[in-house]
Amino acid sequence: MRALVQRVTSASVAVEGETVGACGPGLMILVCAMQGDDEAKAEALAEKILKLRIFRDEAGKTNRSLADVGGGALVVSQFTLAADTSRGNRPGFSAAAPPDLGRALYEHFAGHLAAQGVEVGRGIFGAEMQVALVNDGPMTIWLDL
């Protein structure tokens, strides 16, 4: 599983002009299931993100996790995180999981975060989406499990 995690003050995702998911202070998470991924990897990625110490403490140091601050998350499926640009200028996406598995692992990932008490907004798997966010910091982290 791959994720691009951004600390945000707010984020939202719209489909056909209608907001379908949003979060206030917390994390914007773009997530991609890769070939060979399974539910255990989805859970491990969710746990890693939940515990990432990327929020400021009282002293201003990045020492607190999403769980510590009680932040929310907006989770959006993003198969293009699997892009292979090593040959030419047109990205290949064959490393991404097939759509049925990708959808199941995306839902499992978001569900696992929600089961840990995080308020989770979601995009719509496979839809054309417009994502808006205010990156806080900026703080952006790439995770590959």
Which residues face 14 on adjacent strands?
A: 19, 130
Per DSSP, 80 falls in state: G
Rounded Cα distance, 70 and 135, in Å:
18
User: For residue 136, what are the CA distances in angstroms to 7, 28, 33?
Assistant: 5, 10, 26
Which one from 6, 55, 79, 109 is the annotated catalytic residue?
79
Q: Which of 9, 19, 35, 80 is catalytic?
A: 80
78 is catalytic: yes
- Which positions are annotated as active-site residues? 78-80
